[in-house]
Structure 1
Amino acid sequence: MPISETWLLPDGVADVLPEQAQVVEALRRKALDFLASRGYQLVYTPFIEYIESLSSLSESNQDLDLATFKVIDQLSGRLLGVRADMTPQVARIDAHVRPVQGIARYCYAGTVLHTKPQGFNTSRAPLQIGAELFGHDSIDADVEMVDVMLNLLATADLIDGVHLDLGHVGLFRSLVKLAGLNKETEHQLSDLYQRKALPELAEFTQSINFGSDFYALGRYSSDLDALQANLSPAVLTDAAFRQALEAVITTHAQIRARWENLDIGIDVVELRSYHYHTGLMYAVYAPNRAAPLAQGGRYDGIGEHFGRARPATGFSCDLYALCAGQFKQVSTVVAPKGIYADLMKAIEQARAQGLSVIQLLGNDDLNSVPYATHQLVQVAGEWTIEKI
């Protein structure tokens, strides 16, 4: 490769320069402090693991499996996976490494790696931050998680004008079971719902059991009153369907009580990661952004692969995406060379105030620090910080 091309990075991977890095890091610290205040304990997980440890999700989520880089361990000869999501790792901790009794709350922040971008204009190496709650299968746990997610966005000053989307895989899943559909038909329906292809859905549902109900589910996915008015009695009285519907209604009401001015929508056929989620799903969108700011949902039984199936719900987001377009100039103070007591004291005081202070080396002058914004100068016997 020519030397002129050695600085190039792979598609979907980018450096983060000082003007944005300090914004990202400040938000990371602020977000983790907030999560700690809500009782979520911080964990660090390894960047790479045996693929079997990461397969607790990939077995039920082919999208995650395809997103995972796989390499051969030169020590053991076994297949390793580079984490594409930190949720299965936290599930391993809850199930096997730290199997506490009762409810466990964890949070995390770290880089993950994707084989391909997971959305329009998204990074292949996002800085993922999130929270997980294990050991409780109630709506209260889901509501807590949605509330924590919204408050985290509020700490980033991103709550104004956002839209919360609520869904539940249980409605579609229970209707599929009631109709006795095979996997191929289930997959075709899921694809039609995801594409919002109502004309195709109308034609496709004419030849399947409970076809009018499947069409109504797509046609009135955002209007629960209209949906219930157009469903057959057999569906409305199905216990699993009713439970999922009530969960959406209750969650909507409880979030509305906590966030009166929040724009909340419902889409019961938003089936992203359908085979991974087991219940309520939620995502937050901002104007003029294609990808969600944060998203999550319920995924009960995730720890079964590690010998301890537990109810679980959680969310995650990309800190880089939250800080997109935000930059802050780094203030740097340049001090002259010397070890005079008064000069060293002035430097220590400036650093104690949170300022970045660089002392010149050798015969250097201000030109050796091209990004300097201030300088420490002596005026009337006193050291003073002046803007350059």
Structure 2
Amino acid sequence: MANKLLHTPDGVRDIYGVECTKKAALQEKMLKVFHLCGYQDIETPTFEFFDIFNESRGSVKAKEMFKFFDRDNHTLVLRPDETPAIARCAAKYFLDEDMPIRLCYIERTFINNSSYQGRLKESSQTGVEFIGDDSADADAEILAMVIKALKAAGLTEFQVELGEVDFFKGLMEEAGMDEETEEALRALIENKNYFGVEELVMAQPISKELKQVFLKLPELFGSLEQIQAAKELTSNPRALRAIERLEEVNRILEHYGLSDYVSYDLGMLSQYLYYTGIIFKAYTYGTGDYVVNGGRYDKLLEQFGKDSPAVGFGISVDELLLALSRQKIEIEVSVVNTMILYEKEARENAIRLSGHFRGAGMAVQLQLKDPARTLEEYQAYARRRNFNNLLFLDRSGFTVRVMNLVLDRTEEIPLSEYLK
């Protein structure tokens, strides 16, 4: 029973030591990019009313939420998706603001995935939401921030795949398929299941030309030129406007000097049904999943009483950390590597010495020596904690015995040399 208490449930994990320090440093690097772009911090509750995230909002499915009841019998959920939470906040605090709002966050999301998927159920996420601007410039700003944030994190090899859900929605309007068929087709196209798409589409009572577009849809990815070729496949106005939007976003990204990081995919769809325009994911090697997910959601805030367009993204910090580790990209952090050990009689001087180092910006641990333990035991302990140096003040307190644990060298230095 005691051993059972030490284990965590499936889908969550402990993070400690250097890994935890690196994670905080990584988040701070990306947050700095957001702040430099004029975005302001926001924090939403870890749990909210179920209705904020219900399926009619286009968020995650109800069966994938962690639900519970409060003492007043309200159904609450742990936050599965940051976007609806920020949409609620924007409608509450910025209802009458008719100019753009830029928000950024570091939060955790909770999704009750199947254990067989191998995904974390509690994930760290950092991202931004740009509310109140429906222009291609806003889309490009968001994509530029994705690229800059990933570069700030240390990635050099990654790709942002950009799509436009209105291309698919335009074709679906023209086809007049029912909701169940649309859902099935959406899944097949997203998974690039060519045979599945062909089987489903050929059974539909739609024109031969429209069938050909659907059959081609899983293949419509790659360079902008490949996407532009899709204009020859359809005359659907909504679908054509979607391609034109991607062309405009690409032109703006060229001004940022970042267009080479972006490829295009007209077959890209999402489980989040609130997306209405551009949609994108970023990938790198070393992880089996995307590290960034985002898009435009112009109708979501309307559900909370604020008719305002919006676009944003979330970066999966856990997936990004995994990718950086597998690519052997180091996150430089300052960690404590020195311990000051002192006997009780040398307490005052030990505290002065620690203040000297900390005042100079150097991290040190201050540790009272247990009389029952030997100096060798503390040396072994310091090595286990990956410390490089052990500084010992005996009861006289006027001499520092400096033990370099890497070079296995010891010297004695007067305390006055440090404090002069």
Q: Which TM-score applies when normalising by structure 1? A: 0.88
Partner of 2:130: 133
Partner of 1:215: 215
Partner of 2:44: 45
Partner of 1:63: 60
Matched, 1:190 2:189: no
Q: 1:275 aligns with which of 250, 273, 276?
A: 273
Q: Superposition pairs for residues 136-175 of structure 1, below 5 Å? A: 136-158=133-155, 160-175=156-171
Q: 2:391 aligns with which of 372, 376, 387?
A: 376
Partner of 2:240: 242
Q: 1:177 aligns with which of 169, 173, 176?
A: 173
Partner of 2:293: 295
CA contact (8 A) 1:162 1:262 kept: no
Matched, 1:79 2:65: no
Q: 1:381 to 1:69 in 2, by over 3 A?
A: same
Q: Which has the higher contact order (CA 8 A, sep 6+)?
A: 1
CA contact (8 A) 1:135 1:310 kept: yes
Q: CA deviation at 1:174?
A: 0.8
Partner of 1:358: 366
Deviates more, 1:275-284 or 1:368-377: 368-377
Partner of 1:335: 340
Q: CA deviation at 1:225?
A: 3.6
Q: CA deviation at 1:227?
A: 2.0
CA distance in 2, matches of 1:274, 1:79: 22
CA distance in 2, matches of 1:385, 1:32: 39
Q: Write the letter of the residue equivalent to 1:227.
A: A
Question: Percent identity of the aligned residues?
Answer: 23
Q: Indicate the SS of the match to 2:48.
A: strand
Q: 1:155 to 1:115 in 2, by over 3 A?
A: same
Q: CA deviation at 1:330?
A: 4.1
Q: CA deviation at 1:341?
A: 5.0
Q: Write the letter of the residue equivalent to 1:335.
A: I
CA contact (8 A) 1:19 1:329 kept: no
Q: CA deviation at 1:213?
A: 2.2
Deviates more, 1:104-113 or 1:371-380: 371-380
Q: CA deviation at 1:208?
A: 3.4
CA contact (8 A) 1:120 1:290 kept: no
Bigger Rg, structure 1 or 2? 2
CA distance in 2, matches of 1:201, 1:321: 30
Q: 1:64 to 1:43 in 2, by over 3 A?
A: farther
Q: Indicate the SS of the match to 2:167.
A: helix
Q: Write the letter of the residue equivalent to 2:74.
A: R
Partner of 1:264: 262
Q: Indicate the SS of the match to 2:6.
A: coil
Partner of 2:408: none
Partner of 1:6: 5
CA contact (8 A) 1:34 1:152 kept: yes
Q: CA deviation at 1:71?
A: 0.0
Q: Write the letter of the residue equivalent to 1:334.
A: M
CA contact (8 A) 1:45 1:90 kept: yes
CA distance in 1, matches of 2:157, 2:370: 53
**Superimposed CA distance per residue, residues 289-342 of structure 1 (whole angstroms, 9 cap, x where no aligned partner):** 221111100011212232112101100012222222368794332213255554
Partner of 1:349: 356
